[in-house]
Structure 1
Amino acid sequence: MAAAAAPAVAHGQASDRARSARRIVLTNSDGGRAVTVTSGDDIEVRLTGNRANGLTYSWSRPTSSEPTVLERVSGGTTPSGSATAVFHAEHGGTATITAQRRCHADRGHYCPLVVTPWKAKVKVEVK
């Protein structure tokens, strides 16, 4: 799978707890995946859009179903259809990160009437 764990960057005199935080990266291929993280960890979502034959398939900015459990701290979209977001695991519980991919057609082109959902279930355990 495309998910990877990397240590989070600690700033200044961070505590042992902050130094042990991880960053989990989820991509297009991780749709439908379930992950377990620890409070303090970050989950980065990188969804890649695509463009071909006058059609751009664009992702919406990922959102959390439970912001008190999994808070989005940054996120955005690009003109090429990609979307990113970083979520911080705040409290114990379960949240689902979701995004949708839609087609946008250039003049003279037509999109299929399909919306593609993406989601990942995240369980946050308290340290």
Structure 2
Amino acid sequence: MRKWTTALAFTGALMTGNAMADGNQLLTQCLAAVRALDGIDTNNVGFGAGYCMGQVSGVMDMLNAFSEDLPTQFKACIPPPGIQYGQGIRIVTQYLKDHLKFLHLGNAVLIHKSLQTAYPCK
């Protein structure tokens, strides 16, 4: 029962807020975040970079918090001791650039899928 409750909570959290935000916006925002991480154009990164950082760190934290209770199809097996948020942002940005056909999907779904793709469970 606990696994089903966790899965439902996780799915609901992934779907929240996706009606207005999609991968097209997320890609632009995460490109700004990568520029900020690299020390490029730090005066003009603004809200978008912070939004990307918040979205990515939120999904990463959720995956970490629920990792033991998630059904296999929702897991991302990030190796211990975990990854830095900056690395997560770079993984998400690369995934978005490589999978343009999915940019119509919601932010949390895309972030989750990018981490699952980078760190599949065996």
Same fold flag (TM > 0.5): no
- Which structure features the higher share of strand residues? 1
- Larger RCO (CA within 8 A; separation ≥ 6): 2
TM-score normalized by structure 1? 0.24
TM-score, length basis structure 2? 0.25
